[in-house]
Amino acid sequence: MAAWVERKQSLVYGSDDWLPRKLVLVRAGGTCPAPFQRPTKKQKASVAATASSSTRALNFTLHITSHHGIKSQSPSPMASTTPQSALSFPRETFAKLSPHPYLRAHLQPTSATATPTRANGRSPSQFRTPHINNGSLTHADGSAVVRIGDTTVVCGIRGEILLTSKVPGWRADKAAAEPSSGAGYNEIKELDLLVPNIELATGCSPAFMPVIPPSTLAQDLSTKIYSLLHSTNLLDREDLRIWYQPPDLSDPDRMDDDSEDDEETSASEIKAFWALYIDILFISLDGNPFDAAWAAVMSALKNVRLPKAYWDPDREMILCDDSVDKSKKLSLNGLPVAITALVFKAKEQAQSKDKKYWILVDPDTFEESLCDESVTVVVDCSEKKTRILSITKSGGTIVGREEMKDIVKLAEQRSTELSSILNG
Amino acid sequence: MVASKEPSVLLSHLHRADGSATFSQNGYTVIGAVNGPIEVPRRHELPEEAVIEVLVRPAAGVGGTRERHLESILHSTLRQIILVHNFPRHLIQVTLQITNTPENKNTGSKVVQAGSHLAILPALLQTAVLALLSASMPLATILTSVSIAIHADGKSRKLITHPSLKEFESASSVHIMAFTSHGEPLVVESQGTFTLEDWEEVFETVKALCHAEHNRIDDNAMQGVDGKGNMLEFVKSAMGEKVAQDLHWHT
């Protein structure tokens, strides 16, 4: 099969600049002059292809007159009228039959002045425009809908109360004294106060079948969101604490109380925590799920309003105040923005000597299926100096120091664009 | 107990697997077994290349989302180093069983901490490569992996190579990188708060540790870099010893 791919490229496409001309052909009214005219014996080249991913065999014969002839043509629209270019498919068919050469032909500039453009019309470093809508879910404490191209994510955050009496091994003195007590101790992490969950809805992409357990992708994304929420120290733990300040016991009515009891209860203590359940649902997925999911989480966290909760000593339970005025927003530590870029290599084979490549940011599903190496960078530009919060890369060896510098620069640009939407 | 930062390995000790290795470093021990190329279930079959299946099993309990994440990193990495196009319509199965993890001081909390699940990644990568070598799987290159923690407090900055779990958790940023034997970066997992300059310094340090550039090894200005810590040398010597053992009847 691998041998076939090589042969197919050399026979049918011949030169690397075949495709844009084909596109000209199609754009010029879809005329395909004598597409399957009977060729002469020496001009004939036939290729039998098998659809690679399905078990259904698909045989087709391609006739080309002479690929040398195609090569020598001038790239003018006039080429469409010459009978030499008998091989002519609509671009959708080309994209399906040989996706890799299709994308490569788009990226390889045909002339010195032309800039590489991806199959979706964007330049390699161009992002899709984000659209964010906050607070559309009424029953959640905070929510956001993020749409980036055809990737749409809904994120809803709901706060639930975790009583310290329910925490196994909880000791009041542990956290009551100082927030900084216990070096390295982080209760948000220890008590699992942030619970992200990602669901890829059935029908959001043709790849997802109904009634199957969460896909590897969904589990992978949940883990990434989870570890990023913690490693960035995004939330202030004071926001998630529910304190109880016992009434002033020097009050004359209660002077008859035990003096020992006074000292014990006069210090305020944490009675409960807010646990945030962050549910992320993909309505539609067209590539780059992580960036969209993270933007949705950030936007929803900014949207969260937790009601004022207090400990009622008489009823011995936590009550929440109804009034909106007393509810509080979360104070977030910075505004991290994630960007993902893929490396598209000129040669399909994973271990190939041809080192030509393009870095494509914000990829769609079609591009994701053609690239192995992916880089995700999370930056926070809310302060003067850019903080990098995470760099993840796997699946290839192309991106080194210099390439990473460029990607971080792109991330900074994207961050300014996205944070204006997130803040505004 | 302080775990040894020196790596150690036991090769081809499982008799039913095609290749196996047990690797220990930093308090982590992982048993790796490789089977392949073997038959692949029809619906997973790829017509042009081998299917790689990576299974990560935790030391206690069953695998969860954390293991899926590690598996997906390993899968995309191993796909780059195994010559998958040599075995179309086959399956190469890599099973990694974690048997030992460093003790966690935070008793009563979750067994594995969020974020620090990455601490085991170098051990998993190294075990997988050694098991693949033991199975004589054709590889394009081998990879070596090192973790580095940066402890920064305003002015001073300290790089710790092969950090312990405690150092890993209290670090301002942690970096796990894997390089091929040609010195190309294959895996990068950096977390925490850092700058591009920090990252580039880590990049060069790990590159020197993973990749045997002899002029670098003598350069003691770079912290933690010496011939002893070189992971590529370790893999080479481990394999060399194994081959010498297997050929002892020859002389």
pLDDT score, position A111: 76
Chain B residues in contact with A168 (beta carbon < 8 A): 108
**A132-136, A208-212, B65-69: least confidently modelled range:** A208-212
Tell me the pLDDT tens digit for each residue of B111-138: 445 456 788 999 999 999 999 999 999 9
The pLDDT of residue A182 is above 80: no
Please report where in the chains the tokens 């964010």 appear, as a residue: A132
Q: Please judge whether A222 and B65 are an interchain contact, meaning their C-beta atoms are less than 8 angstroms apart.
A: yes
Nearest-CB residue to A387 (from B48, B117, B193)? B193
Mean pLDDT of chain B: 85
Chain B residues in contact with A394 (beta carbon < 8 A): 73, 76-77, 186-188
- Give residue A14's identity as a one-letter amino acid code: G
Q: What is the pTM of this model?
A: 0.81
pLDDT score, position A231: 87
Q: Please judge whether B185 and A399 are an interchain contact, meaning their C-beta atoms are less than 8 angstroms apart.
A: yes
B83 touches chain A (CB under 8 A): yes
Mean pLDDT of chain A: 76
A384 touches chain B (CB under 8 A): no
Q: Which of A50, A225, A226, A227 to mutate to test the interface with B (most CBs of B within 10 A)?
A: A227
Question: CB of A128 within 8 A of CB of A144?
Answer: no
A202 touches chain B (CB under 8 A): no
Helical residues (DSSP H) of A66-170, grouped into ranges: 67-72, 91-97, 99-107
A388 touches chain B (CB under 8 A): yes
B53 touches chain A (CB under 8 A): no
Task: Please tell me the distance from the alpha carbon of residue A239 to that of residue A135, in angstroms, as a whole number.
Answer: 20
Task: Please tell me the distance from the alpha carbon of residue B148 to that of residue B156, in angstroms, as a whole number.
Answer: 16
Between residues 168 and 187 of chain A, which touch chain B (CB distance below 8 Å)? Answer: 168-169, 183-185
B168 touches chain A (CB under 8 A): no
Which of these, B70, B166, B57, B169, lies nearest to B121 by C-alpha position? B70
Q: Please judge whether A397 and B180 are an interchain contact, meaning their C-beta atoms are less than 8 angstroms apart.
A: yes
What is the C-alpha radius of gyration for chain B, rounded to an integer number of angstroms? 18
Which of these, A149, A121, A115, A152, lies nearest to A136 by C-alpha position? A152
pLDDT score, position A174: 53
Q: Please judge whether B65 and A401 are an interchain contact, meaning their C-beta atoms are less than 8 angstroms apart.
A: no
- Name the band, by pLDDT with cuts 50, 70 and 90, for residue A184: low
- Give residue B69's identity as a one-letter amino acid code: H
Question: CB of B207 within 8 A of CB of B188?
Answer: no
How is chain A split into domains, by residue range? 9-56, 339-422
ipTM of the assembly? 0.88
The pLDDT of residue A351 is above 80: no
pLDDT score, position B179: 93
Chain B residues in contact with A389 (beta carbon < 8 A): 191-193
The pLDDT of residue A241 is above 50: yes
Greater pLDDT, A35 or A155: A155
Q: Please judge whether B186 and A226 are an interchain contact, meaning their C-beta atoms are less than 8 angstroms apart.
A: no
Question: CB of A276 within 8 A of CB of A159?
Answer: yes
Task: Please tell me the distance from the alpha carbon of residue A364 to that of residue A151, in angstroms, as a whole number.
Answer: 9
Question: CB of A167 within 8 A of CB of A249?
Answer: no
Q: Please judge whether B140 and A351 are an interchain contact, meaning their C-beta atoms are less than 8 angstroms apart.
A: yes
B203 touches chain A (CB under 8 A): yes
B215 CB-contact burial (10 Å; exposed 0-12 / middle 13-18 / buried 19+): exposed
Between residues 57 and 76 of chain B, which touch chain A (CB distance below 8 Å)? Answer: 64-66, 68-69, 71-73, 76
Rounded to a whole number of angstroms, the distance from the CA of B249 to the nearest CA of chain A is 37
Nearest-CB residue to B80 (from A53, A224, A396)? A396
A389 touches chain B (CB under 8 A): yes
Q: Please judge whether B68 and A1 are an interchain contact, meaning their C-beta atoms are less than 8 angstroms apart.
A: no
The CA distances from residue A299 to A147, A278, A280, A402, in Å, are 12, 12, 12, 31
Q: B191: nearest CA in chain A?
A: A390
Tell me the pLDDT tens digit for each residue of B18-44: 999 999 998 899 999 999 899 999 888
CA B169-B174-B175 angle, 5° bins: 150
pLDDT score, position A17: 41
What is the C-alpha radius of gyration for chain A, rounded to an integer number of angstroms? 30
Task: Please tell me the distance from the alpha carbon of residue A210 to that of residue A213, in angstroms, as a whole number.
Answer: 9
Count CA atoms within 13 Å of residue B230 on its CB side: 19
Question: CB of A337 within 8 A of CB of A380?
Answer: yes
- Name the band, by pLDDT with cuts 50, 70 and 90, for residue A124: very high
Total length of chain A:
424
Which of these, A299, A398, A413, A415, lies nearest to A345 by C-alpha position? A398
Q: Which of B48, B83, B148, B202 to mutate to test the interface with A (most CBs of A within 10 A)?
A: B48
The pLDDT of residue A262 is above 50: no
Residues pairing with A147 in the sheet? A131, A152
pLDDT score, position B231: 86
Q: A218: nearest CA in chain B?
A: B65
Nearest-CB residue to B196 (from A219, A375, A405)? A405
B104 touches chain A (CB under 8 A): no
Between residues 332 and 361 of chain A, which touch chain B (CB distance below 8 Å)? Answer: 349-351
Residues ≥6 apart with Cβ < 8 Å to B27 = B3, B4, B100, B101, B102, B103, B164, B165
Instruction: Specify the DSSP class assigned to residue A13.
Output: I
- Over chain B, what HEC string results? CCCCCCCEEEECCCCCCCEEEEEEECCEEEEEEEEEEECCCHHHCCCCCCEEEEEEECCCCCCCHHHHHHHHHHHHHHHHHECHHHCCCCEEEEEEEEEECCCCCCCCCCCCCCCHHHHHHHHHHHHHHHHHHHCCCCECCCEEEEEEEEEEECCEEEEEECCCHHHHHHCCEEEEEEEECCCCEEEEEEEEEECHHHHHHHHHHHHHHHCCCHHHHHCCCCCCCCHHHCHHHHHHHHHHHHHHHHCHHHC
A31 touches chain B (CB under 8 A): no
